[in-house]
């Protein structure tokens, strides 16, 4: 992967509008579909995201918002770190800024054309940069649906969650990027985190930002004195 939020420095997120059954605390969960929702029929709401010192980016997942107005400011002095308007594709967004060494706060005003604005995950923190995939990214679905043949010969089916599984390979400098990758794995283990798999394609980066977890330990082939061929598998969080 090219970038990952590591370590996570997200504080307690609040929202300007909140359905009691879908609180803003859901934005800190590990489940994309455990969403925060504004009060019914509210189409515009603001998320306030405190971010501890040493940060360089933020990611948003599983939102029905189509656009956002974003302002990131320093907690002391109020200087603007980043401001911009987002057009949100695929229900997710990745944004970086020049690394800040002090505490900051992001205000994200989300706007939807649906009945009520909602979002699933927000993560912010330091950004670890590694390598873009050296070749194509393989993508498929992991299907948790049930398919069972009954004694009478009929087929019983029940459609359940389908989540993306992505895999790719990278040529990494062994003593820098590969060691960083393994440190990232040791930190998160089986837990999901925010990542941008590649920023080396045309079009929107939103397609390649994923909230997911390592599907097994990354493997490396040390065929060169300096570089290693590394294989990575990611399973998107439910």
- pTM for the whole structure: 0.92
What is the mean predicted confidence (pLDDT) over 89-99? 94
State the Cα–Cα distance between residues 208 and 189, nearest whole angstrom: 21
What CATH fold (topology level) applies to the domain 3-129?
Answer: Jelly Rolls (2.60.120)
**Token couple for 76:** 């002391």
pLDDT in tens, 108-137: 999 999 999 999 999 999 999 999 887 789
Q: Cα–Cα distance between 37 and 215 in angstroms, integer? A: 30
Q: What is the DSSP letter of 229?
A: E
Residues 6 or more apart whose CB falls under 8 angstroms from that of 183 comprise none
pLDDT at position 88 over 70 = yes
202: which residues sit within 8 A by CB, 6+ positions away? none
The structural domains of the chain, with segments of one domain joined by +, span: 3-129, 138-236
């Amino acid at each position: 992967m090219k970038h990952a939020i590591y370590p996570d420095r997200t504080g307690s997120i609040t929202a300007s509008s909140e359905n009691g059954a879908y609180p803003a605390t859901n934005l800190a969960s590990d489940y994309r579909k455990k969403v925060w929702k504004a009060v019914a029929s509210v189409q515009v709401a603001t998320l306030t995201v405190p971010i501890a010192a040493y940060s360089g980016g933020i990611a948003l997942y599983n939102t029905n918002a189509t656009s956002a107005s974003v302002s990131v400011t320093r907690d002391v002095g109020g200087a603007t770190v980043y401001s911009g308007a987002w057009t949100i594709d695929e229900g997710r967004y990745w944004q970086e800024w020049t690394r800040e060494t002090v505490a900051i706060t992001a205000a994200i005003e989300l706007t939807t054309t649906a009945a009520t604005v909602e979002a699933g995950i927000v993560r912010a923190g330091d950004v670890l940069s590694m390598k873009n995939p050296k070749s194509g990214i393989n993508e498929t679905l992991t299907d948790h649906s049930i398919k069972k043949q009954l004694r009478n010969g009929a087929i019983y089916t029940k459609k359940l969650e389908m989540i993306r599984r992505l895999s790719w390979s990278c040529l990494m400098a062994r003593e820098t990027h590969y060691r960083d990758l393994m440190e990232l794995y040791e930190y998160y283990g089986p837990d999901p985190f925010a990542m941008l798999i590649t920023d080396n394609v045309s079009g929107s980066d939103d397609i390649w930002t994923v909230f997911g977890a390592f599907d097994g330990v990354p493997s490396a082939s040390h065929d060169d004195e300096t570089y290693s061929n590394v294989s990575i598998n990611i399973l998107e969080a439910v």
